[in-house]
Amino acid sequence: MLTKLPSQSLARQRAFFASGKTRDVDFRIVQLKKLKEGIRKYEPEIMAALYDDLRKPPFESYASEIGILYTEIDHAIRNIRSWARSRRVATPLIHFLSRSRIDQQPYGVVLIISPWNYPFQLAMAPLIGAIAAGNCVLIKPSELSPATASIIDKMIREIFPSDYISVFQGEAEATQTLLEEKFDYIFFTGSTAVGRIIMTAAALHLTPVTLELGGKSPCIVHEDARLNYGAKRIAWGKFFNAGQTCIAPDYVLLHRKIKERFVEKMTGMILAFYGENPMKSPDYARIINARHFDRLIRFLKTGRMISGGDYHREELYISPTMIDQVTPDDPVMQEEIFGPILPIIEYDEIDEAIAFVNQRPRPLALYCFSESVKIQDKVLGETSSGGGCINDTVSHVGSQELPFGGIGDSGMGAYHGKPGFDTFSHQRGILIRSNLVDMPLRYPPYRDRVSLLKLLFRIIR
Ligand code: NAD
């Protein structure tokens, strides 16, 4: 389905922004409250849509797509006045008798493009930041999760006038149509490949972008890791939403000495979480579609199966799977897995694991399991990633105090909490000059004032 964007619709959003309504912080607070009420009202329909699209277990839907948004909205409402306030800053002596401040200004009309894996949350979380910062918004949800896209559309229509916030549904070509328009900001969540397309299109209009992309997030499990907790937290982070999480541990770098114990604990955890037959578990999601299913099954052709490896195409089901004996050249190690397959690669020295990470594009997340602060600090100090956890996986996404975003191939920019407000605000630096005096020095004709100027710069340094 390709919805035609009436160019008037964008013009109407521009006019709404120009009316100045969104500049009022009270207005923004009211809109955030409306959004929260709307989500609450639509909760059952949202959960049903997520079940339809991904057979997402209700617990996972509530935790990762709904509850997390309430926290984000409440946090924004509590802090918006202080975030939006102009900030007085010092003024250099050379601007004697002036004052300086930084104003937070909304960009204008923002385009939010979201993916299918957390199709509700990844459209709404950036929306919260954009509303808090005073923008108008057009949301383009993913066409691969159509049930959720249509609930988003219905809910947003009911809550907001379309001049302020609207939804534009359609396939990838629809996004391309949108990208021909000039937006004031583009916030994209999706793959690295499409991120490049978005940034190229944005460059033509010089539109600033945030790119929340993917990649292969490593999970280092050191010799001294506390495996009782470690295996549980890795199995949870990997198999939540059937591995279709941008910050799921993509592969494990495991100290060779603890291989047997780790595999045993992981197998035990998978059994404890999903039972003998995970296909029958109400707590285990499905693969989004046949194309992704086929892509994932291809990964099972290399390496050695340690556990799992069952699948059912009609059901779009792949069991929680661990493999080892993979090489860096195998397809499973060449692209982001984004499914319930966990390759294990062994190392002897922590430096090997660090080198392995550093030889690859900078990941969205990095996890390190170790009891030693020295090892934790070494891993953090010698690697780079968008974010991550020590002795846990995925959980950093749920903190409003932590910026969430990638680096290098995993993206640019960040959001959640104040970083979300900042992302959608332009920081406008203003100097207010006093009219009490007017120093003649800076005006032409300059004559022989260079030495005086040099002296001045020396004094005020
Ligand atoms: P995707 O890049 O295929 O699609 C994302 C959005 O881009 C969709 O709305 C889609 O309609 C649009 N799109 C697709 N092809 C396009 C094209 N050629 N031109 C213009 N628009 C196009 O991503 P996906 O498959 O929906 O999501 C999976 C990817 O997203 C994974 O790589 C995952 O790691 C990443 N992801 C990142 C985060 C994050 O927060 N960093 C979160 C979730 C997913």
Ligand 1: which of 72, 118, 194 to mutate, judged by most atoms within 8 Å of the beta carbon?
A: 194
When pLDDT is cut at 50, 70 and 90, the band that residue 402 belongs to is very high
> Residues 248, 234: contact at Cβ < 8 Å?
no
Neighbouring CB atoms inside 10 A of 45's CB total: 15
Atom from ligand 1 closest to the CA of residue 140: 9
Whether residue 269 sits in one domain with residue 186:
no
Whether residue 328 sits in one domain with residue 274:
yes
389 is catalytic: no
Query: How far is Cα 23 from Cα 29, in angstroms, rounded to an integer?
Result: 11
Residue 71, in any domain of the structure: yes
The pLDDT of residue 82 is above 90: yes
The pLDDT of residue 2 is above 50: no
When pLDDT is cut at 50, 70 and 90, the band that residue 439 belongs to is confident
Instruction: Give the distance (Å) from ligand 1 centre to CA of residue 428.
Output: 31
Mean local confidence (pLDDT), 430-453: 93
When pLDDT is cut at 50, 70 and 90, the band that residue 6 belongs to is low
Whether residue 372 sits in one domain with residue 285:
yes
Atom from ligand 1 closest to the CA of residue 193: 2
Cβ–ligand 1 contact at 396 (below 6 Å): no
Query: How far is Cα 427 from Cα 106, in angstroms, rounded to an integer?
Result: 9
Cβ–ligand 1 contact at 64 (below 6 Å): no
Residue nearest to atom 6 of ligand 1 (CA): 115
- H/E run at residue 66: none
User: What was the pLDDT predicted at 9?
Assistant: 83
When pLDDT is cut at 50, 70 and 90, the band that residue 221 belongs to is very high
Spell out where 41-144 has E strands.
87-89, 98-106, 109-113, 136-140
Cβ–ligand 1 contact at 422 (below 6 Å): no
The pLDDT of residue 5 is above 80: no
Residue 223, in any domain of the structure: yes
Q: Can you give the three-state secondary structure of 294-310, one letter per residue?
A: HHHHHHCCCCEEEECCC
> Residues 114, 142: contact at Cβ < 8 Å?
yes
Q: Which of 136, 219, 246, 368 is catalytic?
A: 246
Query: How far is Cα 386 from Cα 43, in angstroms, rounded to an integer?
Result: 31
Whether residue 223 sits in one domain with residue 345:
yes
pLDDT digit string (tens) for 161-189?
999 999 999 999 989 999 999 999 999 99
Whether residue 268 sits in one domain with residue 165:
no
Whether residue 244 sits in one domain with residue 284:
yes
Instruction: Give the distance (Å) from ligand 1 centre to CA of residue 194.
Output: 6
Range of the domain at 28: 6-86+105-213+411-424
Q: Please tell me the least confidently modeled range out of 92-96, 161-165, 365-369, 431-435.
A: 92-96
Residue 54 sits in a domain of what CATH number? 3.40.605.10
Query: How far is Cα 109 from Cα 11, in angstroms, rounded to an integer?
Result: 10
Whether residue 269 sits in one domain with residue 128:
no
Whether residue 353 sits in one domain with residue 264:
yes
Mean local confidence (pLDDT), 366-395: 98
Residue 68, in any domain of the structure: yes
User: What was the pLDDT predicted at 1?
Assistant: 44
Whether residue 181 sits in one domain with residue 53:
yes
User: What was the pLDDT predicted at 363?
Assistant: 98
Mean local confidence (pLDDT), 294-302: 96
When pLDDT is cut at 50, 70 and 90, the band that residue 4 belongs to is low
Cβ–ligand 1 contact at 197 (below 6 Å): yes
Residue 431, in any domain of the structure: no
* pLDDT higher at 8 or 256: 256
Question: How does strand 411-412 pair with strand 304-307?
Answer: unpaired
Mean local confidence (pLDDT), 148-163: 98
Structure tokens at 29: 């607070």
The pLDDT of residue 337 is above 90: yes
Residue 348, in any domain of the structure: yes
pLDDT digit string (tens) for 29-69?
999 999 999 999 999 999 999 999 999 999 999 999 999 99
Burial class (CB in 10 A: 0-12, 13-18, 19+), 149: buried
- The count of structural domains within the chain is 2
Residue 442, in any domain of the structure: no
When pLDDT is cut at 50, 70 and 90, the band that residue 15 belongs to is very high
Whether residue 247 sits in one domain with residue 227:
yes
Mean pLDDT of the chain: 96
65 is catalytic: no
pTM for this predicted structure: 0.96
User: What was the pLDDT predicted at 245?
Assistant: 98
Residue 81, in any domain of the structure: yes
Question: How does strand 311-312 pair with strand 317-318?
Answer: antiparallel
Query: How far is Cα 103 from Cα 436, in angstroms, rounded to an integer?
Result: 24
The pLDDT of residue 3 is above 80: no
Residue 342 sits in a domain of what CATH number? 3.40.309.10
The pLDDT of residue 327 is above 80: yes
Residue 455, in any domain of the structure: no
Residue 219's closest CA among 243, 191, 199? 243
Instruction: Give the distance (Å) from ligand 1 centre to CA of residue 192.
Output: 8
Query: How far is Cα 29 from Cα 80, in angstroms, rounded to an integer?
Result: 8
Mean local confidence (pLDDT), 17-29: 98
Instruction: Give the distance (Å) from ligand 1 centre to CA of residue 382.
Output: 29
Query: How far is Cα 416 from Cα 394, in angstroms, rounded to an integer?
Result: 14
Structure tokens at 97: 């008798």
Ligand 1: which of 5, 72, 142, 178 to mutate, judged by most atoms within 8 Å of the beta carbon?
A: 142
Mean local confidence (pLDDT), 414-435: 98
Which of 358, 376, 405 is the last residue in one of the domains?
405
Whether residue 379 sits in one domain with residue 309:
yes
Whether residue 399 sits in one domain with residue 289:
yes
Q: Which of 60, 212, 336, 368 is catalytic?
A: 212
When pLDDT is cut at 50, 70 and 90, the band that residue 8 belongs to is confident
Mean local confidence (pLDDT), 371-396: 98
